[in-house]
Structure formats: C-alpha cells, structure tokens
Structure 1
C-alpha cells in the first residue's frame, strides 16, 4: 500500500468504521491481509476529500472485489461513483456484498448487477463444559495436529486438491499460509491432519479451527478427492466440536457455498443453521 490516504492504516480504519456501523465487515480476511502486507496484482480505487478517505475498493488478481463507503458519507452517491470506476477498470469484476445489506442491494440493482454467487455463514451454540471425546478415527486413518515448519507444503497441496474447484480457498499458497500463521489467532493445536495409518506424511484431510473470542470458526475442512466417502469430514467435525466445547467456546460458525447442498446437509445434521449471507454481484 501507499502512504497517507492510501496507507494500510487508513483503509483499515475506514473498514473498521463500516464494521461498527453495519455489524458486518466490508472486506474479507484475504483482502485485509493484502491491504496490511501488500500483495501483487491487487487493484485499488478510492475517493477522498482533503485528507479524509471516504471510500475504498479492492479487486484481487482473479477479479473478485469489495468496496466500502464511510458511514458518515453515505447517501451522497459515492458508492455509485466508486462502483462505476471499478467497473470501468475491471468490467468483469464480481463484487462481494457481505451481509447483503439493503444499501448494497440497491446499489447493485441501480448498476444493473445480478447475483452470481452466495456464501452462507452457518452457526450453532455450544454447550459449556467438557464433553465426551469424538469417536475413533475411521479404519486405516490416524489424526495428528499440525507441526509448524514441517507441514506447510503438504497442507497446501492437500488444500489445493480438496478445493480445486473453489475460487479462493483452492489457490492458497505457502506464503498465504505463513501470513495466517503470523496472525495472533493462529493455534497449530486447532489444525488437525488425518493421514494414512503409519504414514504421517500421507495426508487425507484436514480440519482448521479459528478462535475468535468466545466463538470458534470452522475455518477450513478439506478432504482429498481420493479420500472421499471414508467418513473423514464427519469424524473431523465431531473431533473439532468436542475440542471447542472442552476449551469453553460458546458458539461455532463456518462458511459454505450456497449451492453446496451436500455440505449444507452435513452441517445441518451437526446442528448448524444459516446465520448470515454474503452475495457476489456481477454483470
């Protein structure tokens, strides 16, 4: 990022003001990391008055974008001005509306954009106190926790295979993983790896939990395509839920594609219900 109005601090302060006003963050985690650390291929547009940043938009190298207008300067047409600038620069951009708030819906309609993707947040409460441990792993499978400095490349390869069709998750790199490891929430004891028995490097699936205060997010649950049907997803979910309860978390959340009916069915069986909706708009 640059200096002054375009500095990372200025953009993150703008996002924090929007989060406080709306109850939902305007930028996802990857965008925040790209702003904070700088990232090649990201495109930035902004509107300002004097020394005040009024609005900012970020578009990633794959054409997925987000925009934010300061709550004190809304209803002045700034969102449409910024959106038009983004569309002129990247006509094929797909823009996220986190929470799909009424203002975002109105802006999308006015610009002739349509919904092209839905991302559900699902949540469930957790009963306090220690719980019975999860059942034994499926036959021929062992589970261990992530070892920093050893498992990064193997986990990235597993994640890429498990999310090969996913537009964001499947393209995480070792550098992206290192950024997340540097975040204060990262805890390797909340990242489990399922592997072939006796072969700790032969990874089959992983479950990653992100602690957020009294909440715990199922951050990424991935099963290698060749290991599908072995009950690994269900086993790792049960293991994670037992650990969350044992650590005193009160609520658990996760994100899932709105058209992934199999995953939604699995999570509903585990007690999750939809709690919020992110929508992507495009021409």
Structure 2
C-alpha cells in the first residue's frame, strides 16, 4: 500500500531522499528531471505556495515517486517524477499524485495549474485527459554546435551587478509583458538568480544605445552532471530580449550571436535555448542561426476551482 506524504516545507532529510530519486531518474533519462524553478524551490525548503508530494511503498528505503507544486508568475507549476524501477506502475502512481496535487490546489482556493512534461507520450496525454487537463503550450529546446559561422557585429559589455539591476529588470519586464514565466520578475527573484553558483556577469551581455540598455543576452553554462552518463558541458542562452523601443533593428539575432560568441570563447562546443513553438518568428530566426529542435516539452493546464 503506497503512503503519500504532503509537505509544505522540506527538511534536509526530505531533500536528501527526494534528491536520491532525482539522481536515479537523471541516470535513467540522461537529463535532470525538474526545471530550474522547481529544483531551486525544493532545495530551498519550499517557498510560499510550495507543496512536495512524496510517495513511499513498503519494503523500499527510497521514494517511489515525487510531485511538486510551486508558484509561478500567473499559474502554479506542477511536475511529476517516478523512480525508474517503478515506472511500470505509472498508470496508478500518476493519477494518485496528480489528483492529490490538484486537491492541494483546490484546498488553497484553486488557480491555474501547468503540468510540464518532457517529450510527452500518449500515456501523458491520457493522464492529463483523465485529470481534466489540456495541452496549452509546446516548448522547444533547440541546439547547435559552436563556434558559429556568423559573429555579432554590435558592441556588448558585461553585466555589472548592483549598477545594471534596475535597468535590466525594466527591460526584461517590458519585453516579456505577455509572457507567463519570464515576465513580472521581481528584484528578489533576480538577486536570487545572481546568487546561483553558475551566475557569471561576463556571460551576461549588455548592449546599449542612446545611454540605455537596448538588449541583453544572459548565458548559463551547464557543467557535466556526474549522475548522468555521458553528460557534457553545454552553454545556454538563458534569457534574451530587446527593449520594445529598439525593435526592428535586427538586435535579436545580434544579441543571440553575442551570447554564442561568449560561450564559444569559453570553450563550449554546444549551445542551446528554449523557445515557444508558437513563436514562429523566433523559431525561424534561430533556425537561420543554425539551431535545430533537439527536444520538446509540453504544458498541460487545468483551472482548479
């Protein structure tokens, strides 16, 4: 008989137990199973709106599955991880954790919930349908080899922590005013990201015009994960944007190239980025820069009252 623990805060022992499950999933799948946002919420012990659902079975000293709810800008993010040795039980574990998670949301007054799934299958679609969730977004991860054939022709400089924070936040939130995840950042969230061990001001390229931040390309280097066999160093275009006042000048391509140039100079052999499949102009631009679709994530959404 499975036992489900619902935790609003994670102690060190809880984080360690879930971490073992995440490591097992990473070894099996060749990738980390939780998105940055949810993983940071987990290891931080859980912020406001957090719920961690840990499933146990008799005779096992490790969780057999884990689900998490974390607050996003305009919706709750939900992700589900099943231990590789128990995926044959997905038809029962999946609905149990999804229903329990949605009950938690319902008990807190409801809201929109997005369940993000890597490379969705018909089994995921069935689970989503049964839970009353519909696919609302498709996100591409695109990759290309480095260095690029073209290089940036505009001048950029490194981000200066403390001096550029307010200007960057203003440009980011203006550029992503209609974006569910990237818009509406707070200074607290931005400072949290700057405290991450991967943060590098030199990899955060700023382009100025008329004394203003006209665009930026924030890169992130993924070091090889020792729990993932064959994992290699990757360079990500983490966030990129152009201030709406400077649209139409070709800065999108130039800022992308500036980030890729920085990554290549650091010895990174592969660049990646994420883009909404529905953003056809951005997908086309990245294809022109040599990117191709590497993987697909889908969001299944429900409104819980």
Q: TM-score, normalised by structure 1?
A: 0.87
For 1:210, which of 217, 220, 223 is the aligned residue?
Answer: 220
Aligned residues: CA RMSD: 2.3
Give the Å deviation of 1:269.
0.5
Query: Is 1:186 aligned to residue 199 of structure 2?
Result: yes
Distance 1:241 1:115 in 2: 32
Contact 1:204 1:223 in 2 (8 A): yes
Query: Is 1:89 aligned to residue 104 of structure 2?
Result: yes
- 2:241 partner SS: strand
Match of 1:17 in 2: 24
Give the Å deviation of 1:255.
0.1
Distance 1:132 1:257 in 2: 24
Superposed, 1:232-271 pairs within 5 Å as 232-271=251-290
Give the Å deviation of 1:182.
2.1
Query: Is 1:134 aligned to residue 152 of structure 2?
Result: yes
Give the Å deviation of 1:31.
0.5
Contact 1:122 1:273 in 2 (8 A): yes
- 1:66 partner SS: strand
From the superposition, tell whether residues 169 and 146 of structure 1 become closer, same or farther in structure 2 (CA, over 3 Å). Answer: same
Query: After the TM superposition, which of the residue ranges 94-103 and 216-225 deviates more from structure 2?
Result: 94-103
Q: TM-score, normalised by structure 2?
A: 0.81
Contact 2:156 2:258 in 1 (8 A): no
Distance 1:112 1:84 in 2: 10
Match of 2:6 in 1: none
Distance 1:277 1:155 in 2: 29
- 2:221 partner SS: strand
Query: After the TM superposition, which of the residue ranges 170-179 and 228-237 deviates more from structure 2?
Result: 170-179
Contact 2:56 2:62 in 1 (8 A): yes
Superposed, 1:141-152 pairs within 5 Å as 143-152=156-165
- 1:170 partner SS: coil
Give the Å deviation of 1:16.
2.1
For 1:118, which of 134, 138, 144 is the aligned residue?
Answer: 138
Query: Which structure 1 segments of 5+ residues have no match?
Result: none
Query: Which structure 2 segments of 5+ residues have no match?
Result: 1-8, 107-111, 224-232
Give the Å deviation of 1:257.
0.7
- 1:220 partner SS: strand
From the superposition, tell whether residues 64 and 2 of structure 1 become closer, same or farther in structure 2 (CA, over 3 Å). Answer: closer
Match of 1:59 in 2: 69
Match of 1:30 in 2: 37
From the superposition, tell whether residues 112 and 40 of structure 1 become closer, same or farther in structure 2 (CA, over 3 Å). Answer: closer
Match of 2:226 in 1: none
Query: After the TM superposition, which of the residue ranges 101-110 and 57-66 deviates more from structure 2?
Result: 101-110
Distance 1:177 1:16 in 2: 27
Contact 2:143 2:294 in 1 (8 A): yes
